[in-house]
Structure 1
């Protein structure tokens, strides 16, 4: 999660700032008022090569989450495996 926030802050600063301003300006209705800005920020982060590589290499554990939507606690080992995998992904230079 920390890596995702770092990527978003570094490469999607404008989108993140707009979303933050919207949330601060709409404390009672930010979920709906700022929805399109949240999507814009998510699309920006998802387009980054490191995020794409993590999706390619570390997707397997998400099968458990799809199969156990009512009880995601059954997938704690899978989530840990995903996080370990994501930590090791690097962009070739």
Structure 2
């Protein structure tokens, strides 16, 4: 996963920084206020980082469940910890598959 993050920083660093700043500046309503920055970062990552595309293909259901949970629990995102754990497990499993294939 670290290698993927390094690639995101390399190819989409400015978009990542913009998104992070937005989240920091909109503590309570970042999910709605930073939607455009999130989309730009996602698009850049999908276009430039092959591992991101693979993870999205394999984990789309889990990603959607996590996003939905965050949208429903804007005031208390801690409720979504289990969904975040599921997302982490899916992405890690996807990365493990990629590593063993290489």
Aligned to 2:98: 86
Secondary structure of the equivalent of 1:44? helix
Q: How many residue pairs get matched?
A: 75
The 5 Å alignment of 1:1-93 reads: 1-48=1-48, 50-51=50-51, 55=54, 62=58, 80=93, 82-88=94-100
| Unaligned runs of at least 5 residues, structure 2 | 66-82
Structure 1: gaps of 5 or more residues: none
1:51–1:26 Cα change, 3 Å: same
Q: TM-score, normalised by structure 1?
A: 0.59
1:24 CA displacement:
0.9
Q: Alpha-carbon deviation of 1:83?
A: 2.3
1:49 shift after superposition: 5.1
**Please, what TM-score do these two structures have when normalized by structure 2?**
0.54
- Counterparts of 1:47 and 1:31 in 2: how far apart (Å)? 23
Give the Å deviation of 1:9.
Answer: 1.2
Higher helix share: 2
Runs of 4+ in 1 over 4 A off after TM superposition: none
